[in-house]
Chains A and B, each alone.
Chain A
Amino acid sequence: MDELELLKKDWNKSNTQYKSFSDSDIYKMSHKKSSTIVKTLFYISLAELVFWIFINFLPFVLSDRMKAQLEEMSHSWIYIGLNILSYAVIVLFIYLLWNAQKSISVTDNAKKLMESILKTRKIIKYYVLYNLLIALISIPISLYFSINEHPEISEKLSTASSTQLAMILLITILVTAVFLTLIWLFYKLIYGILIKRLNANYNELKKLEV
């Protein structure tokens, strides 16, 4: 006899073996807090968004001198333009995240549901990548400008040999890259653990299409 047929016979006759929950049990349960991956992902996404917004504001909070410098810069159109751009990006990501979140429906078919969940995660991935890229670009640039603004440093640098300059540049880039890679790895680790199963299940269905 086919194994599954045997199982099916037993499956349908074992209807009564489960503990029956009463109306009030079910009522209580339906009002408990959900612990699905969608909820978890949403909270992590929110935390990440807040984190990067906070990082962007950090210079204002950190030091008065920076604040003064930034205020001075605030008259330049490049600074205003960049600011508008960065806020637009934040708003865009919040909008995309909200949309993706809304499209997750537990009543879709399994494949579609997993697709929507993974899409939400991808949006946050792009947001983090965007921030890392901005950091990678802006750290050397701001370093360059601050050296220019401080005559005592630039004087010291002008006496340095070209190999020394190259070394400084190399070290700056290296430190920046290592720091950003660490953030990226940390991020990969969190999501790697969280969506390992989901990815496996999604790939299982996806595999069939090939």
Chain B
Amino acid sequence: MNKELEHSFVEQLQKHQNIVHKVCRLYTNNVDAHNDLFQEITIQLWKAFPKFRGDAKFSTWMYRVGLNTAITLYRKSKRRIDTQAFDSVEFKIKSEDYDDTEEQQLKLLYQAVHQLNDIEKALVFLYLEDKDYREISTTLGITEVNARVKMNRVKKKLKTILNP
């Protein structure tokens, strides 16, 4: 493969790697799984890179490939058990705990987001990255209206997880 192409790819990914890290943060919950997903996204990005025309921003293109890889990745059973162990942690949130510090709230929020399914996570991710509904809808392949509807449902679901 073209050395120049490779160099340009590595350079750009190195610069924007935080995007990949953020995808991994939402979709995994331990260091090993995080690094595995990072590697898989890197492989997919590199495989698709020759077709990257530069008509979109490199970072925008990364969002799509990164999320697609996370959504369609087949997770090995070892990791599934990890997720289950994580999910089964009980979140007993009493009202006084919830009004605690902001830090505590954030911790619970991240835990709640980890309980969402892959598609809901993708919506949350794009929302956190400040993407508008048009971009959310084209990334996921749904209509803008449906993206809004789904986002509202995700917000409600998060509320229910936090205040059962």
Contacts and interface: CB of A to CB of B under 8 A. Distances in A.
B72 A38 contact: yes
| Chain A at the B interface: SS class | helix
A109 B43 contact: no
B65 A197 contact: no
Interface stretch (A6-14, A48-56, A159-167, A182-190): A6-14
Given A32-B43, A36-B40, A200 B117 contact: yes
Interface string A1-28: 0111011101110010011111100110
B140 interface: yes
Interface residues of A, number: 49
A106 B109 contact: no
| Chain B at the A interface: SS class | helix
B65 A106 contact: yes
Contact of A36 (B51, B69, B127): B69
B139 A109 contact: yes
Contacts of B71: 110, 113-114, 201
A114 B72 contact: yes
Interface of A: 2-4, 6-8, 10-12, 15, 18-23, 26-27, 29-38, 40, 105-114, 117, 194, 197-198, 200-201, 204-205, 208-209
16 contacts: A3-B158, A3-B162, A6-B105, A10-B106, A12-B130, A26-B10, A30-B43, A35-B73, A106-B48, A106-B65, A108-B141, A110-B67, A111-B142, A113-B71, A113-B72, A205-B119
